[in-house]
Structure 1
Amino acid sequence: MAKDHQMSGQRFFIVTVLNAVITILEVVGGLLSGSLALLSDAFHNLGDTFSIVISYVAHRISQRQEDQRNTFGYGRAQILAAMLNAFLLIIVSVFLVIEAVKRLGHPETINGGLMLWVAVIGLLANLVSALLMHGGAKHNLNMKATYLHLLSDTLSSIGVIFGAFMIQWYNVTIFDPIITIVVALYITVESWPIVRHTITILMQGAPKMDYDAIKADLLTIEGVTNVHHIHVWMIDEHRIMFSAHINMQDMLLSEVEPIYRQIERLLATKYQICHVTLQAEDIRGRDEELIHNEDLEQQLKQRQHEE
């Protein structure tokens, strides 16, 4: 774990330095060549530099152990960073689309040769950065958001290179804003699912599961007579929490514990639930719904009182 953490830190540092250098190069190149696409790529890289720093800080915070202030740990720091980075991508993309649309009506003279060389250097640096972050992007939303930043810059650089060729050989300057718009729209489409997923986690949303099937599986365990009032939520993209009230046959506490272990094993192996909290009951709540609805419960109590 320590070795992986050290490697992640080294990768974050290398990628940060690369993006800072690319940003400076592309800003200078974009101003000198007059290319909006090159400047847009520079803005993306500037955003990437900040996002990588944010991601690394969140990565470090998430490594802290549980304590009295955060009994579930600090893993959600990476969820917050992923959401912030995805939002930044969308905001920058909207800004670039607005500027590109303005330039469609007022094309400007562009130095295609300078634009091409700067874009090629940017592409190589972005490829190296994306490859460095690719490994961690498969299992971590925070690193996935950072990787998406870098991948978008790689695609943007390819688009800028294509536009530079068209400008250099055919003097078709309209490709510059068109490429900017296409890349910005692609980035927005790719970023939105990350925003949606991180908001679901932060709102303690439930993962997509067949809760009736979970109840049916639990009822197959000897001693369990009913399951009700369950709560399922995500702490981060990997950890699922589960709590439930379990109606059981009247038995000794020492007989209940083996049943608890069976339930925990079942939920962990079949549904990848890592933390289970159970409340054993005899007849209390036997008529309650699987998903607790407080308003419905109040209505039922009111009806019983009126009767």
Structure 2
Amino acid sequence: MQGDNHSHDVLSGGRFFLVTVLNIFITIAEFVGGVLSGSLSLISDAFHNLGDSFSIAFSYVAHRISKKRQNKRNTFGYKRAEIIAAFLNSIALCLICIFLIIEAIKRFSHPESINGNLMLAVAVIGLIANFASAFMLNAGSKHNLNMRATYLHILSDALSSVAIIIGGVLIDLFGWVLIDPLVTILVAVYIFYESVPIIRQTCRILMQGAPAIDYPAIKQDLLKIDGVFGVHHVHAWSIDEHNVIFSAHVNLHDMKISQAQHIYTEIDELMENKYHMCHVTIQAETTRGENEDMIYDRGNDIP
């Protein structure tokens, strides 16, 4: 799990501070440049960068909270702090995209004159700073939803800068001022599209959704263990995108607890090594529930 540890360190110390400073610098430059040049795409990107600065700080705080050990108040620990941060950051990103699309559509009806040279110069500065920030966050984005949401914020700004540069060139050469709102819409739609899967995945985790596991295969493997003749009332849920909790009722032949202990050990090893469960809880029974379905379903929630 070295990759995870590395991703957890990406938003720490000097690197976190440098990414934040770069975003504040870009925000100021694009606000001033957008107002002076009349470019909506620059102003919209400045708003985007301002949101990114808050997003990075929020993600870092959530990351620090997630490293706290479990205690009597949070017996499963604090790992979901990062899931909550990823969810809220992605929602904010989608709302910003919707706002920018609405403003861009208004510009189609009322186009304004734009200083293409100034727009181009500011966009180039933004591109360099955004790519530098994205590079610093790239490693952790592959293994952590919180980092992924933050990285997506920064990457979206880098893509916006590329699009703005293209727009600035076309405006300067041909006077196509409508390219400015068009660029804004294209970038906003792309970022919205990239944000939706993060929202879907984090929402499923927060709703105690079950991970994608093969329940029939799990049942067959458990029934192969000597002494187990039934499996029912199974639950599986994710703490975060890496850690899955599993619980099940298993029917065992009548025996002493000391005799059943080796069966528990076999079940634990099976679920950890083959199905990558981080925590397994087993309730042993003899005949109780032996005819129930594997997934608990009586038309109501867990009593």
Q: TM-score, normalised by structure 2?
A: 0.95
Partner of 1:108 in structure 2?
Answer: 112
1:48-100 superposed Cα distances (whole Å, 9 cap, x missing partner)? 00100110110111111111110100010000000010001000000000000
Which residue does 1:255 correspond to in 2?
Answer: 259
Q: Aligned ranges for residues 74-153 of structure 1 at < 5 Å? A: 74-153=78-157
How many equivalent pairs are there? 297
Counterpart code for 1:159: A
List alignment gaps of at least 5 residues for structure 1.
Answer: 298-307
Match of 2:16 in 1: 12
Instruction: Give the AA of the match of 2:110.
Output: H
Runs of 4 or more consecutive aligned structure 1 residues displaced over 3 Å after TM superposition: 1-7
CA contact (8 A) 1:119 1:160 kept: yes
**2:233 equivalent to 1:229:** yes
1:289 aligned residue (282, 286, 293): 293
Show the counterpart of 1:304: none
Cα shift readout 1:222-280 (whole Å, capped 9, x = no counterpart)? 11111000000011111100000010111221221111111111111211111000001
SS state at 2:12 partner: helix
Q: Letter of the 2:151 partner, please give it.
A: Y
What is the CA-CA distance between 1:12 and the residue it aligns to?
2.0
5 Å-filtered alignment, 1:1-307, equals: 5=9, 8-295=12-299
Distance (Å, rounded) in 1 between the aligned partners of 2:7 and 2:36:
44
Structure 2 CA distance for partners of 1:7 and 1:115, relative to 1, 3 Å = closer
The question of whether the paired residues in 1 share the 8 Å contact of 2:228 and 2:251 is answered with yes
Deviation per residue, 1:163-200 (Å, 9 max, x gap): 00001111111110000000000010000111111110
Q: Secondary structure at the match of 2:299?
A: helix
The one-letter code sitting in structure 1 at the alignment partner of 2:260 is V
The answer to whether the 8 A contact 2:7-2:139 is kept is no
RMSD over aligned Cα atoms? 1.6
One-letter amino acid matched to 1:107: P
Q: Give aligned-pair identity as a percent.
A: 57
* Unaligned ranges ≥5, structure 2: none
Alpha-carbon distance in structure 2 between the residues aligned to 1:168 and 1:5 = 43
Per the normalisation by structure 1, the TM-score is 0.94
State the shift of 1:8 in Å.
2.7
